[in-house]
Structure 1
């Protein structure tokens, strides 16, 4: 049997973990079951990931990177943050629903980590935050904002994404989800519009005082 490179094997285990969690839940995602789903030796899993928690965190990282890469591969933005932020939110939701296993695993794993491993939950949130921030900074006028302003918009976007994902997992109704996406995007656009005015006014006032 040909030797599988470590990087490829890691990816196989991450994909297998996503499938197992999406189909059976986190509790059923034992290392043995994950190795079987990856059609790989259990010893290989323990070689690639020293603990199951390390594997779970890799799943969060994979999802965050995949979503932001989907945004970065889209046409470069020449729009304001108020226009591009809702588009990025919609693209993230679309990716989650198109990649159903990842979307469901994200919801299952986030709930599990919040209850059983708060440190992992915090790390996972940080991964999502930094990934979303990279996509937001593509907006043509992002450099007009303070770091705190961009971070506020990113935080709201993540909160909205989590709520939309939970709704989709609960109802599995694309039409219902579309209505919720529209409401969420309108809210994010309004927030960014107000943030633009507030942030620029604060910058102008600070410059005038100095």
Structure 2
């Protein structure tokens, strides 16, 4: 195989790691098996990653990007708020249903990181990344559609992250795609109720600050 830029090699190794971890499990995955999957030598791996922790972190980041990146495309100016939120959540859910093994891997990575000495910080970063992705989506929603949250954004982000995370695991264990989709619709309804047009929010704030005569 010809020489490739290091960034491309890293992507190649990360995608190979995702395939191997999904197939064999995280604990059984070795740098050798990843290199064999990618068709590269061990020296290439060590050139691209300083440690297995660095690879695991890159895997977590990449898996999140797989499901999150397409979601923002549904948040566009001029589009109905509820329609945008439903489309965004359904896009994520389509990815869960199309790639259940990849999403199952995210939970295995969490447990692996929490149980392995020196890796626990990766689980923290994983969930910080989930929160950051949902915060980005919330910010994008509010910016593109000129909305503001009616509760602190940090609370809304944690709520959104927790419901999606729990629903995903519930689906992986119990199945029931139609019921899960109905839960997402309920989440969309609730989320829409937690934001309001900026002009209305500013008018409401002005009314609250008025001093009675």
TM-score (norm 1): 0.80
How far is the alpha carbon of 1:27 from its aligned partner?
Answer: 0.4
Which of 157, 166, 169 is equivalent to 2:172? 169
Aligned ranges 1:1-210 → 2 under 5 Å: 1-74=1-74, 76=76, 78-80=79-81, 84-116=84-116, 117-139=119-141, 140-141=144-145, 143-145=147-149, 149-171=152-174, 173=175, 176-194=176-194, 200=201, 204=205, 208=209
Distance change (3 Å), C-alpha of 1:95 and 1:39: same
Answer 1 or 2: which has greater helix percent: 1
SS of equivalent residue, structure 2 residue 50: coil
Name the SS for the 2:152 alignment partner: helix
1:118 shift after superposition:
2.4
Structure 2 portions without partners, runs of 5+:
none
Pairwise CA RMSD = 3.0
Is there any run of 5+ residues in structure 1 with no aligned partner, and where? none
More divergent stretch after superposition (33-42 vs 102-111)? 102-111
Deviation at 1:51, TM superposition (A): 0.9
Deviates more, 1:68-77 or 1:113-122: 68-77
TM-score, normalised to structure 2, is 0.80
Q: Number of paired residues? A: 204
How far apart, in 2, do the equivalents of 1:193 and 1:180 lie? 20
For the pair shown, which has the larger CA radius of gyration, 1 or 2? 2
